[in-house]
Chain A
Amino acid sequence: RKEVEQDPGPFNVPEGATVAFNCTYSNSASQSFFWYRQDCRKEPKLLMSVYSSGNEDGRFTAQLNRASQYISLLIRDSKLSDSATYLCVVNIRNDYKLSFGAGTTVTVRA
């Protein structure tokens, strides 16, 4: 079983729509979770950390479900500029090593 698994998508949504997707992780003891965004031919960039109680950053909402070992990302009022690959990232063993999911591709169309 992979340490971090994501639905690869692609999710094709119109501007203004809401899109949400999940990621599962293998170690129930993991403590640190992140969403990174990667644009085509660019480096991954931190989008947001994911906290136990859930957190929002503008149009982006991240949730953590420890019982089911998944995290989610919801994007409200999608913009064309939200088109990217979203990487689920987990510090699986609570050390220095981050485990990256393969990414979920989101395409927002006009």
Chain B
Amino acid sequence: DAGVIQSPRHEVTEMGQEVTLRCKPISGHNSLFWYRQTMMRGLELLIYFNNNVPIDDSGMPEDRFSAKMPNASFSTLKIQPSEPRDSAVYFCASSLWGDTQYFGPGTRLTVL
């Protein structure tokens, strides 16, 4: 079975540019999570969707970050404009009914 799929796996961009990260959750899962991981702060939950509806976006750092889930098989996390402090690994995870979560391979973002 395919796990959670994320793209791109690596992204290097310059400050001020728009960045879009993509995620395809496991088929049949109804919950989707976006996380950010850094050495300093560990894993932080950015936003949680249930049945394609954003339920909790309290972890989104600021208005530069936005996330969408237009259907059950696709979600995006957008950063516009990007800043060097956004450099991190961004993980997407999915679950059925929000308990055990399965993570994608992550997108390693570097903002120069």
The interface of chain A, by Cβ under 8 A from chain B, is 32, 34, 41-46, 49, 87, 91, 95-98, 100-103
Chain B interface (Cβ < 8 Å from any Cβ of A): 31, 42-43, 45, 48, 50, 55-56, 91, 98-106, 108
Also in contact, A43 and B98, with CB within 8 A (given A96-B55, A100-B43) = no
Binding site secondary structure of chain B: strand
Q: Is A43 in contact with B105, judged by CB distance below 8 angstroms?
A: yes
B39, chain A: closest CB distance, angstroms: 10
**Pick from B45, B48, B106: contact of A43, CB under 8 Å:** B106
Closest Cβ of chain A: how far from B72's Cβ, in Å? 16
Select which of A42, A49, A97 is within 8 A of B48 by beta carbon.
A97
A32 touches B91 (CB 8 A): no
Q: Would B31 and A43 count as touching, CB distance under 8 A?
A: no
Contact (Cβ within 8 A) B104 A43? yes
Q: In the assembled complex, which residues on chain A have CB atoms less than 8 Å from the CB atom of B31?
A: 96
User: What residues of chain B lie closer than 8 Å to A97, measured between beta carbons?
Assistant: 45, 48, 56
- CA distance in complex: A4, B73 (Å): 31
For A41, the chain B residues whose CB sits under 8 A away are 108
* Complex partner residue of A42 from B42, B55, B100, B105, CB under 8 angstroms: B105
A96–B104 contact, CB under 8 A?
A: no
Please measure, in the bound complex, the distance between the C-alpha atom of A102 and the C-alpha atom of B103, giving whole angstroms.
17
Contact B103 A100 (CB under 8 A): no
Contact indicator B91/A43 (Cβ below 8 Å): yes
Given A43-B105, A96-B31, A97-B48: A102 touches B42 (CB 8 Å cut-off): yes
